[in-house]
Amino acid sequence: MDRNKRPIIDTVRGLVPATGSLLRTMGTVFMHGFRKRETVSYPEQPVYLPPRYRGRIILTRDPDGEERCVACNLCAVACPVDCISLQKDEADDGRWYPSFFRINFSRCIFCGMCEEACPTSAIQLTPDFEMGEYDRQQLVYEKEDLLIDGSGKDHDYHFYKVAGMAIAGKDKGQAKDEDTPEDVRTLLP
């Protein structure tokens, strides 16, 4: 039958399921009043952050308690917003270290690319976001603000123990799994 010939009947027919739908919606919404609330009342109720959460950036130390950072600048290069700034220096024992290391957290977007770029597991992101400050300048963290006493997520890694770089007390060839360097003169014809 042609629908347009019975407008009144069709209207009434359409109204019944529509009314039912509206009432059911209202009932569902009303029953939500008896459900548990999803809100986490944050400052009182601690919020769970997964271990890999990308929050406040730290500088870690190797298992011997020495700075891991070798001031290679890879983090500063990887940083998309250029918020890392550092200067290389060399200690008396031959180790490289940053004479200053500065992260401007008012620029940082917590993308974690510095952590990915770091060859020595020195720079790491932590599950902490409570960094609010009233003064913008307070968001610029210096090396002493960033450096922690522990080794962060990577406990056993020790760059100078596996790398072929000579420092005081460890010559070339003495690193873990490293062969003694070939004396090129023995290869001469």
Partner 1 sequence: MSWWTPQVTAIFWGLFQALVILLGVVLLGAVLTVVERRFLGLWQDRYGPNRVGPFGTLQLVADMLKIFFKEDWIPPFASRGLFLLAPILAFASLLLSFLIIPITPGWGVADMHIGLLFFFALAGINVYSVLLGGWASGNKYALLGALRASAQTLSYEVFMGLSLMGVVAMAGSFNMRDIVAAQENLWFIIPQFFGFITFLFAGVAVTHRHPFDQPEAEQELADGYHIEYSGMKFGMFFIGEYVGMVLVSALIVTLFFGGWHGPLLPPFVWFALKTSGFLLLFMLLRASLPRPRYDRVMSFGWKICLPLTLINLLATGAVMLWVGA
How far apart are CB 25 and partner 1 at their closest, in Å?
A: 5
Shorter beta-carbon distance to partner 1: residue 11 or 180:
11
Find residue 141's DSSP bridge partners: 103
CB nearer partner 1, residue 17 or residue 33:
33
Provide the minimum distance between the beta carbon of 44 and partner 1 in the complex, in angstroms, as a whole number: 11
DSSP 19-51: HHHHHHHHHHHHHGGGSPP----TTTSPPP--T
- What are the two backbone dihedrals, phi and then psi, of residue 90, each rounded to the nearest 5 degrees? -125, 130
Residue 89 phi, psi (nearest 5): -145, 165
Nearer to partner 1, 25 or 174 (CB): 25
We find the least distance from the C-beta atom of residue 3 to partner 1, in angstroms, to be: 16
3-state secondary structure of 107: coil
CB of 37 to partner 1, least distance (A): 5
The footprint of partner 1 (CB under 8 A) covers 11, 15, 22, 25-26, 28-30, 32-33, 35-39, 41
